[in-house]
Amino acid sequence: MKLHLTGPSNTKLNDTITITGSKSESNRSLLLSALFSDITIENISNSDDAQVMAKGLKISEGTVDIHHAGTAMRFLTGYFASQAGKEVMLTGSKRMTERPIEILVDALKTLGAEISYVQDEGYPPIKIKGQQIVKDKVGLPANVSSQYISSLLLIAPSLEKGLQLELIGKITSVPYIKMTLALLEEIGVETSFEGNLIKVSPKAKVAPTTLVVESDWSSASYFYGICALAAPGTQITLSAYKKESLQGDSVLASIYTSFGVETTFGNNTVTLKKTDKKIEAKNEFDLANAPDIAQTIAVTCFGLGVGCYLTGLHTLKIKETDRLEALHTELSKLGANISVTDKTLTIIPSVGILEDIAIDTYNDHRMAMAFAPLAMKTTLIVNDAEVVSKSYPDFWNDLKQLDFGIKEL
């Protein structure tokens, strides 16, 4: 599906949008509800990823195909490794077979799991023969994707002795680790995180608990981008969001003050308001704890004609695509002066944005959504626009609600 986007005729917007539950929280909650039958979930994400995860958890033998869902690949690896009697092959899309899983597999093997590679060493597909895991101590490099860490933490309470996980080196993506531990605490599991050591106590049974999933802050980021590029006085209300969020991407609220967007928290809502604040020519942010919003911020800066220097982006190379290279390619097509390294991105302020450029999305939902706000400033085409269903299936409909012109080509 190829879409042609134009911005609203009135660039002073005023509307309310309800966003689906967080993919990150949904996937964690789904895994916990598979381990403990007394858990129910509300406001679950309608994303492809959450559906793939839910489906995968119901399988006990044969092939589990998780398509593009990296989170499901990592979480299900831990889940099946710890389920005695279950025997599966975990596989996915071509890109999934290029995304490393060795660090997680090695850690699980240290604990006594039985996992083997079907094709290339260190990459999916993998064969898993579920075991009753009795060892409880393992180490893991701390600067890797937090999903490896969360995969181990989520199964920890179901293990005979729980888990002591030592993180080796400088820890990145701390909010995602804390999100996992907070959900464990919510269902009554004892945890501690001191220095580089995380401990999770075993728990045979949990009391009946309802986990209410907060909406996705990374999905909110695209509306922050729209608001930043809109006329002063614009007001967009989003739900359902909490001020005390478990999600690292909620740092958006403070970052976007730099772009003239003020955030007010209401009762499970957040209201974004565009002010006439002067925006600095150069903006610097360390996104090690919130790498998923890097694309949105880079596009916002380009749309505003200001510069930025973004650091802490080393995990972007192993996402749905190499997001740094993809950003470099697509923003350059629009006329940006951009350079990237393996962990940083720099944009030099520029004037003017080219029209009707076709943006490639690389099977990456965030590429499609991060570029959409630019329709506030120019007309553009988004290739393979259906990719948004991975995390936010209603995205294009929600833009129509804001009066964006969206035409299928």
Is 216 among the residues known to form the active site?
no
Strands 137-141 and 114-117: unpaired
What single letter denotes the amino acid at residue 147?
Answer: Q
Neighbouring C-alpha atoms within 13 Å toward the C-beta of 357: 20
Q: Answer for the pair 95, 320: CB distance below 8 angstroms, yes or no.
A: yes
Show the tokens assigned to 369.
């959504």
Q: What is the DSSP letter of 260?
A: T
Q: Answer for the pair 152, 108: CB distance below 8 angstroms, yes or no.
A: yes
Calculate Rg over the CA atoms of the chain: 21
Show the tokens assigned to 224.
């922050």
Give the active site residue among 48, 216, 292, 364: 292
Q: How many CB atoms lie within 10 A of CB 275?
A: 13
* Burial class for 94, CB neighbours closer than 10 Å (0-12, 13-18, 19+): exposed
- Calculate the dihedral angle through the C-alpha atoms of 359, 361, 365, 369, rounding to the nearest 10 degrees: -10
Residues taking part in catalysis: 292
